[in-house]
Amino acid sequence: MVVDSVYKIRSLLQKSIPNSEISAVFKQMSIMLDSGVGLLECMQYLKTRNVYLESALKDIVLSLQEGLALHECFLRHSDVFGNLACVLLQLGQTSGNLKLVTHTLAQHFALKAELSSQIKKALVYPIVVLCSMVLAFVAIIYFVLPAFLELFGELGVELPVWTNILLWAHDLFELFGIFWVGVVFGIIVSIRMMYKNLPDFALRLDGIILHMPLIGELTRLRDSYNFCFGLSNMLKGALPLERSLVLAIDSVQNKALRIQYQKLPILLYNAKPLSFALETLGLLDSVNLALVSVGEKSAQLAEMFEIIARNTENLTKEKIDIALRLLEPTLSIAMGSMILLLALGVFVPMWDLSSSALNF
C-alpha cells in the first residue's frame, strides 16, 4: 500500500504515463479476454498505479456503459494510447481477434518501454558527470578563482590567456548567470508551447530535426517502425491496402516526415506498386524494398512489413547503443579539457611567479 501510494504521488508530479504501464494494461486485457471474461467486466477489473491512466480507464468504462464501441472509448484518450492502438482495437473487435490485438499492443508498448529504459539507464552516468563538471567549473571560477586573481593582482603578475578566459567566464557568470538561466528556460517553454499550438512552426521544427545528425536518423527509424508495425497489423486484419496505408500514416509522429508518407496513396492511385512508391519517396532502404517487392508478388505484404518492423527495431537499438557508447568518451574528453583549462589558468601564473622569484 505504501509503495502504491508513493507511486501515485510520483505520477501526479510527473504528469506522464510510462509505456510500461500502458503495456501492463493491454497485457491484463489479453489475459482476461483469453480467459473468457466479458469486455465490460474486463475493463472494470483493469488496475494501474498511474493516476492519469487510472482516470482514463475509468472514463473508458463509463463510455462503454453508455454504449460506445471500444475503439471510440479509447479514441477519447488518443493522446495516451495513440491513434494506432485505437485503430487496431477497432480491427480486433470487428474481426473477433481482440485478445490477439491486445497481446500485440502489450508487446508494442513493452518494446517502447524497453528502449526508453535502456536510454535512461545509459544516460545516468553521463548526466551525473556532466552536472558535476558544470557545478565544479562554476564553483571554482566563482569562489576559488577570485582569491587567486586578487593575489596575482597584488603581486603584479601578468595574466596569461588561460587565466583571462577563466576571468571572462567568471565575469560573464556573475553578470548574466541567472539571466541566461531564465532565457534558456523561457526558450524551452516557448518552443514547447509553439510546437503544440502553431502547426506551421511544428512542421518547420520537425523538418529541422530530420536533418540533425543521429537524431534525424533515429526519428526516421522510429516512424518507419511505427508505420510498418501498423500497416502489418492492419493488413492482417483484412483491411484494404489503401485504407491500411491511411491509418498507418497516422502513426508517423514527425509532421514533416508524415507529409512524405501521405504521398503514398497518391502514387498507388496512379497504379504504381507500393515498392516503387516507397523507393520514389526514399522511405525504405534497398533491402527492405526488396522484401516489399517479394511481399507484393507472393501476396504476403503483412508478413513482410512485420519483418521490416522487426529489422527496424533491431537497427534502432544498434544506433542507440552506438550513440550511448560514444557519449562517455566525449564527456571524458570534455572533462579533461575543463580540468586542463583550470590548471593552466591557475598554475601558469603561479609558475611565472615562482620563476620571477628565483631569477630575483
Residue 30 lies in a domain: yes
Judge whether 28 lies within some domain. Answer: yes
* 275 within a domain of the structure (yes/no): no
Query: Would 124 be classed as within a structural domain?
Result: no
Domain assignment present for residue 34? The answer is yes
Angle at CA of residue 13, ends 8 and 15, nearest 5°: 90
Q: Is the dihedral of CA 56, 61, 66, 70 positive or negative?
A: positive
CA distance 163 to 156: 14
Of 301, 282, 292, residue with least CA distance to 240: 301
Q: Domain of 104: which CATH number?
A: 1.20.81.30
- Alpha-carbon distances, residue 81 vs 69, 191, 312 (angstroms): 16, 24, 22
Q: Residue 55: inside a domain, yes or no?
A: yes
The CB density around residue 47, as the number of other CB atoms within 10 Å, is 10
Residue 333 grid cell: 574528453
**pTM confidence score:** 0.75
On whether the CB atoms of residues 308 and 292 are closer than 8 A, the answer is yes
Q: How many domains does the chain have?
A: 1
Dist CA 29 CA 42 (whole Å): 6
| The pLDDT of residue 11 | 42
Tell me the pLDDT of the chain (360 aa) as tens digits. 443 444 444 444 345 788 999 999 999 999 999 998 988 999 999 988 899 999 999 999 999 999 999 989 998 998 889 888 888 888 888 878 888 899 999 998 998 888 888 777 777 777 787 788 778 777 877 777 777 777 777 766 677 787 788 778 777 777 776 777 788 889 989 998 998 889 999 999 999 999 988 888 988 998 999 899 989 988 887 788 888 898 888 888 899 999 999 999 888 888 788 999 999 999 998 999 999 999 999 989 999 999 999 999 889 888 888 887 888 788 788 888 888 887 777 777 777 666 655 555
Which residues lie closer than 8 Å to 282 by C-beta, 6 or more apart? 260
d(CA 148, CA 349): 9
Q: Do the domain assignments include residue 41?
A: yes
* 198 DSSP assignment: -
Tell me the C-alpha to C-alpha distance, in Å, between residue 92 and each of 40, 63, 103, 298. Answer: 15, 18, 11, 25
- Would residue 308 count as lying in a domain? no
Q: Which domain holds residue 73?
A: 14-110
Cell of residue 262, nine digits: 501521405
- What confidence score (pLDDT) does residue 15 get? 57
Residue 274 CB burial class (10 angstroms; 0-12, 13-18, ≥19) = buried
